[in-house]
Structure 1
Amino acid sequence: MLIDGGPAGTWERVLRPRLNALGRPLEAVCVTHLDADHIAGVLGLLATNVRAVKDDGLAPPFEVRRLWFNGLDLLRAPLLSTADAVAAASYAQGRDLMTHARQLRLEGNAPFGGPLTAGKQAELDGLTVTVVTPHEKALHRLAGAWRAKLPEDPAVTGAGFTDQSIPNLSSITLYLAGHGRTVLLTGDARGDDILEGLSIAGLSASGKTHVDVLKLPHHGSANNVAEEFFAAVQADHYVISADGTHGHPSRDTLRWLVESRPSDAGFTVHVTNPISHVHDTLADLQRGRRLEVSIGRGAVIELATRPGPDRLPDRTADHAPYGGSYGRVDIGQTGAE
């Protein structure tokens, strides 16, 4: 499964080589929302397949069995002439994605059979996929609002619990569960919407959710999370996909995350690029805690399956110290998951 594809250049530089190395079909590709740093790599993937099929009469070089994308609701009507350049660019990319989907017969969000909205669930090759965000009413409301925004309106480009960006507020969040392991992939969704979606889906016990892996929303922006988010959603592995652009991840985000856990709690924070303020902030926060920090070019987390109630140890290296099968979470430098 591929969640988002990163910004322009990611397809040729990173994603294409990784998929070549993987050498097997993608059961699903999900584009969480229209922003260029999430959709561009997937456009490269699908365009490569379209060229092979339409121009060369060949089979797609990269088999994609399902495409999940909520763009149809946002793209059903023409974009208003008053929309700014950011909205116009997102709209154009979404149109391109839908065109490729039609050409490759990947429309329809199978097996969901419509927009991915909070509470919907599907089984996929032994994995239970639960949609946490967006909420259905919000998606329809945002569709009209996004098309109607004026250039000066900060809701088109704003960075919220204070994030008011229209594409971000429509972002798909997926909760994946299989073989006793759980992963929460949040796109650029807002933390309060994620908490509401977890509750709707019955995934929070007494307002609390624990997962093996949590990918932080919106590259660790403080506009999308708050102290109460990290108090309610906790993980063994936290992943921040960011390169320092716009100051992401925020120092406040790092502090809220770490201080939400008792000092004797063991957990790991993975950061997908070396960022000086992140290294310094986490080094300060590590003192007196069982916090481990992994900063590198991307993040790979491999989790042993849990056949029963006993918890097996995790691994984050390239070799297994013991037998068994593993689920792999591979988050690239630039946002592909």
Structure 2
Amino acid sequence: MTHIDEDHILGAIPLIESTPDIFTIGNVYFNSPALLEFKRKSGNISVKQAIKVESLIVDKKIELHGLESGQIFKPNKNIEIQVLSPRKSDLDLLDHSHLNKDSSVTKISNNTKLENVEVLSKGKDNFLKISSDLVNACSIAFILRYKEKSILYLADAHPEIIAENIESLGYSSSNKLKIDIVKLSHHGSFKNISDRFISLISCNTYWISTNGGKGVSKHPDPATLAKLTVNMNRSKNESITFLFNYPIKQIECKNGCLMSENDKREYNVVFKEEHEVIWS
């Protein structure tokens, strides 16, 4: 479980409740409230649910582990997980911070007027300060390698923390980290991507996990898709694919058009609804 936000832990409750009757869980990786000694303030929805998850883990006698950047572990002979986030220094800050229930809400406007991707791609970085987005900045993010395939799973991680740790592995704009699929941070929010991060990776497939958001939180942002479309190095005959786990029409009904059909054709962009990827 990547962090304490409601949309990242709520589904774990029935899963853990059903063990061992339906299936068994060997280990849980989660920077939980007790592991971090959170202040357990009433009214904080995410922290309350995190405490419930943790209590279930203890009751079921499941092993609980925290994770931080720099760790590498292998669940089996074919899978390797290399952790890029969170940093220990940020976990230490979170340990002593005041957490409020709205800390993870990222607001983007309804797309009533959609600029073309060329214009959107030139927008300046708009990520938040780590100190003001600490819960998301403490997301567990990692590279998962399976045989010859790899996925960069970003949860709601901060783009500069990810970029910093990719660079620490020896990658750069001239020696890019090659990834098969990137699960975009924070449902494709423009506040969780940066030009520095884009310059460090080589990838043509991006997964966006969202139903479009709710209330003032609307995802993904067209500017995120535009930046990746225009700024990711690829040849003209290579397409760039955005995978959605909810119907695209449903998302666009909530938030407006994500990219014009003309831009999709000109820049060889594919929008696709996909619930799973099967690798042999």
Q: Which of the five TM-score ranges fits, normalised by the shorter chain?
A: 0.7 to 0.9
Structure 1 residues 101 and 188: alpha-carbon distance in aligned structure 2, compared to 1, 3 A threshold: same
Partners of 1:75 and 1:91 within 8 A in 2? no
Query: Deviation at 1:200?
Result: 3.1
* 1:127 matched to 2:103: no
State how 1:36-55 maps to structure 2 within 5 Å.
36-49=6-19
The runs of 5 or more residues in structure 1 that have no matched partner are: 1-30, 50-58, 110-114, 304-325, 327-337
- Provide TM-score, normalisation by structure 2: 0.79
Match of 1:300 in 2: 276
Structure 1 residues 184 and 204: alpha-carbon distance in aligned structure 2, compared to 1, 3 A threshold: farther
Aligned equivalents of 2:7, 2:155: Cα separation in 1: 11
Structure 1 residues 35 and 208: alpha-carbon distance in aligned structure 2, compared to 1, 3 A threshold: same
Aligned equivalents of 2:269, 2:100: Cα separation in 1: 45
Partners of 2:38 and 2:95 within 8 A in 1? no
Pairing partner for 1:264 from 237, 262, 265: 237
Once the two structures are superposed, what CA deviation does each residue of 1:309-328 show, in whole Å capped at 9, x if it has no partner? xxxxxxxxxxxxxxxxx1xx
Match of 1:117 in 2: 68
Match of 1:228 in 2: 196
Match of 2:60 in 1: 104
State how 1:1-337 maps to structure 2 within 5 Å.
31-49=1-19, 59-72=20-33, 76-80=37-41, 85=43, 88-109=44-65, 115-125=66-76, 126-145=78-97, 148-149=98-99, 156-157=103-104, 159=106, 161-162=127-128, 164-202=132-170, 206=174, 208-245=176-213, 246-261=217-232, 262=234, 263-273=236-246, 274=248, 275-276=251-252, 280-281=258-259, 283-294=261-272, 296=273, 298-303=274-279, 326=280
Match of 2:112 in 1: none
Match of 2:116 in 1: none
Query: Deviation at 1:149?
Result: 5.0
Secondary structure of the equivalent of 2:277?
A: strand
Amino acid corresponding to residue 62 of structure 2 in structure 1: L
Partners of 2:104 and 2:136 within 8 A in 1? no
Between the two proteins, the alignment pairs up a number of residues equal to 248
Q: Which runs of 4+ in 1 moved over 6 A?
A: none
Query: Deviation at 1:243?
Result: 1.6
Secondary structure of the equivalent of 1:243?
A: coil
Partners of 2:68 and 2:83 within 8 A in 1? yes
Query: Deviation at 1:91?
Result: 1.1
Partners of 2:5 and 2:104 within 8 A in 1? no
Identity of aligned residues (%): 23
Partners of 1:119 and 1:200 within 8 A in 2? no
Which structure has the higher relative contact order (CA within 8 Å, separation 6+)?
2
